[in-house]
Homo-oligomer: A and B are copies of this chain.
Amino acid sequence: MSILIREGRSEDVPAIMELVRELALYEKAPEEVSNTEERMLKEGFGDNPAFGSFLAEEDGKVVGMSLYYYRYSTWKGRRLYLEDIIVNESKRGSGIGKLLFDKTIEKAKEEDCSGMMWQVLDWNTPAIEFYKKYNARFDEGWVNCHLDF
């Protein structure tokens, strides 16, 4: 297996959205995806991009990605937030997730962040076990709230 980890580019938007839809299916909420390729292209790859990404490529094909941006913790200062880390189902368990996760941690450190944050669903045991290996800290009892316009 030869995996290349590289930054996402505008022409990757279709592959990124395909992975996003795959994750939404795994997280049992496919109907929640209202984002479109056009919107992602405009918001992520113009002036002042709303996010950054790393893609995992095998033989020229995108097989995984991490998508991140910066948040501001009033308690901890500027932090990198890992919004999504996704590996194509047929490639899971082969170490690609670790390559993407490590690359994202490296980016957070380069950018002088006080730390990295992300969320996991409480039933996603494989992911939780993976994060435990990094000695991640888990905070329960928070509820995500949304207003959609």
- A residues apposed to B, CB below 8 Å: 16-17, 20, 23-24, 29, 32-35, 39-40, 43-44, 50-51, 67, 69-78, 81, 83-84, 105, 108-109, 113-123, 128, 131, 134-149
Contact = CB atoms under 8 A, between A and B. Distances in A.
Number of copies: 2
A109 B118 CA distance: 26
Given A43-B72, A50-B72, A143-B120, A148 B115 contact: yes
A141 to B, nearest CB: 5
Contacts of A77: 34-35, 39-40, 43
B119 A142 contact: yes
Contacts of A128: 143
